[in-house]
Amino acid sequence: MKPREFRIAPSLLSADFARLGDEVREVIAAGADLLHFDVMDNHYVPNLTVGPLVCAAIEPFATVPIDVHLMVKPVDRIVPDFAKAGASIISFHPEASEHVDRTLSLIRDHGCKAGLVFNPATPLVHLDHVMDKVDVILIMSVNPGFGGQSFIRSALPKLAEARRRIEASGRDIWLEVDGGVKADNIGEIARAGADTFVAGSAIFNEKDRGAAIARMRTELARATMAA
Ligand code: DX5
Ligand code: ZN
């Protein structure tokens, strides 16, 4: 098996929105592999954030892919707008879509990678008939809606199960984890099977974002060396 490639995706939810362009530039210079963009609608989740307009505004600064996490219901009508706004990945929650297969196709038809997101209590059975259309599996390790929550440990066996499903599919599917990821637990999360790590507060609440990301990479290297 070829060694897994790790990606760190700072979540802009914890950035300073008054200086978003600078925050984007800074976190990319600090070593971000992706920019995680959390979209909340005060309906599917109890919070309200940003939409395609803000995504398009940061796109000129984004020299790494924009990873859009849709926490909105309905999903389909906003997909083309995010594709136009510069998204590379668009992920959504199966509970928020009437027709999961159709939404996955819609995202891919717009030239983006399609991701399916699993809340802590959402079972992986939603993958059963769509593995051939999924490019990213995103396991939530908090209940969606807010940054700065604690990692829910039931995400670890779930990541392991998702990793088994990916291996069985033989496809190059990314396994992303979101919520409560820190340098202290990132090694254990990688060992469970994740390859893409969203971290909001653990990066943006640090003065030195470069050091925060570097510490995560050190822990990832240590975890895989020990494996
Ligand atoms: C939560 C969001 C996360 C959030 C993670 O609903 O999807 O992306 O920003 O924040 P931390 O890393 O602080 O848990
Ligand atoms: Zn997210």
Residue 15 structure tokens:
């950035």
pLDDT given for residue 180 in this prediction: 98
Q: How confident is the model at residue 224 (pLDDT cuts 50, 70, 90)?
A: confident
Q: Does residue 13 line the site of ligand 1, with CB under 6 A?
A: yes
The fraction of the chain above a pLDDT of 70, given in percent, is 98
Global pTM value? 0.98
Asked whether the bond before 74 is cis by omega within 30 degrees of 0, the reply is: yes
Measured from the Cα of 143, ligand 1's closest atom is 6
Q: How many CA atoms, within 13 angstroms, populate the side-chain half-sphere of residue 53?
A: 2
- Mean per-residue pLDDT, 77-104: 98
The token pair at 53 is 């307009």
* Beta pairing class for 7-10 and 174-178: unpaired
Greatest CA separation for the chain: 46
pLDDT category at 60 given cuts 50, 70, 90 is very high
Pairing of the two strands 113-118 and 87-92: parallel
Pocket residue to mutate for ligand 1, from 27, 34, 38, 40, most atoms within 8 A of Cβ: 38
Ligand 1 atom nearest 203 alpha carbon:
12
Report which bound ligand comes closest to the CA of 47.
Answer: 1
Atom index in ligand 1 nearest the CA of residue 199 equals 12
Which of 11, 27, 49, 70 gets mutated to test ligand 1 (max ligand atoms within 8 A of its CB)?
11
- When pLDDT is cut at 50, 70 and 90, the band that residue 136 belongs to is very high
φ, ψ of residue 108 to 5 degrees: the values are -70, -35
Query: Is 185 near ligand 1, meaning CB less than 6 Å away?
Result: no
Q: In the predicted model, is pLDDT for residue 225 greater than 90? A: no
Are 152 and 142 spatial neighbours (Cβ–Cβ below 8 Å)?
yes
State the pLDDT at residue 227: 64
Q: How far is CA 23 from CA 3, 14, 58, 61, 222, in A?
A: 31, 10, 10, 10, 29
State the pLDDT at residue 4.
81
Q: Kindly list the catalytic residues.
A: 38, 178
Looking at domain 7-226, its CATH architecture is Alpha-Beta Barrel (3.20)
**C-alpha of residue 155 to centroid of ligand 2, in Å:** 15
DSSP for the chain? -PPPPPEEEEBGGGS-GGGHHHHHHHHHHTT-SSEEEEEEBSSSSS-B---HHHHHHHGGG--S-EEEEEE-SS-GGGHHHHHHTTEEEEEE-GGG-S-HHHHHHHHHHTT-EEEEEE-TT--GGGGTTTGGG-SEEEEESS-TT-SSPPPPTTHHHHHHHHHHHHHHHTS--EEEEESS--HHHHHHHHHHT--EEEESHHHHTSS-HHHHHHHHHHHHHHHHHH-
pLDDT cut 90: percent of the chain above it: 96
Q: What is the pLDDT confidence band of residue 2, given thresholds at 50, 70 and 90? A: low
Ligand nearest to the CA of 150: 1
Interval between CA 38 and ligand 1 midpoint (Å): 8
